[in-house]
Amino acid sequence: MSSWSLLIASQGQVLDGPAGVIGFKPCWQPEDHRSFFTAPEAWGLFTQKRQDSTQHERLEIRHGQLQVRELVFECPPAPANLGATVRLAGRESPSSIRRDGPEVRLTLPSLTKVNEGQAIEVELRA
C-alpha cells in the first residue's frame, strides 16, 4: 500500500468521486507527465504537457466510466487572462473557470459520464 501512495503523491491526484471532481497537480515531471490513475469506477492514463504558454491535459478512460463535474489542475504561473477549452469524448464542452493561485478549476454545467475508450482533453492557455 505504501507504494500506491507514491503514485498518488507524484501525480498530485485530486479526487472526490461522489461530487464528480478529478484532477492532477503533478510534482514529478509536471512539464511532461504521464501516469496511470484510478477513480471509483474507472482507471486510465493521465498525461500533462506544458509548452510555452499552453498546457495540455488528457485523461484517457481505459476501463469503466468516469463521472465528472469539475476538473482541477495546476498551471503555474496562472495569468489573469487564462483561457481554457474542454473536450469530452471529442466534443467541446462549456465550462466555467476559477483560479486560486496556481490551481485552476473547470466546472462543467452538469455531471457528465465519460465511458471506456473516451477521453477528457483540456487546453489551458495564457
pLDDT of residue 64: 97
When the candidates are 2.60.420, 3.30.420, 1.10.3210, 3.30.1380, the CATH number that belongs to 2-125 is 2.60.420
Question: What pLDDT does residue 55 have?
Answer: 95
Longest dimension (CA), the chain: 41
Question: Per-residue pLDDT tens for 50-83?
Answer: 998 899 999 999 999 999 999 999 987 756 788 9
Q: Check residue 4 and give its pLDDT.
A: 64
Return the pLDDT at 81. 81
Lowest mean pLDDT across 27-31, 68-72, 116-120: 27-31
Cα-Cα-Cα-Cα dihedral sign, residues 120, 98, 39, 19: negative
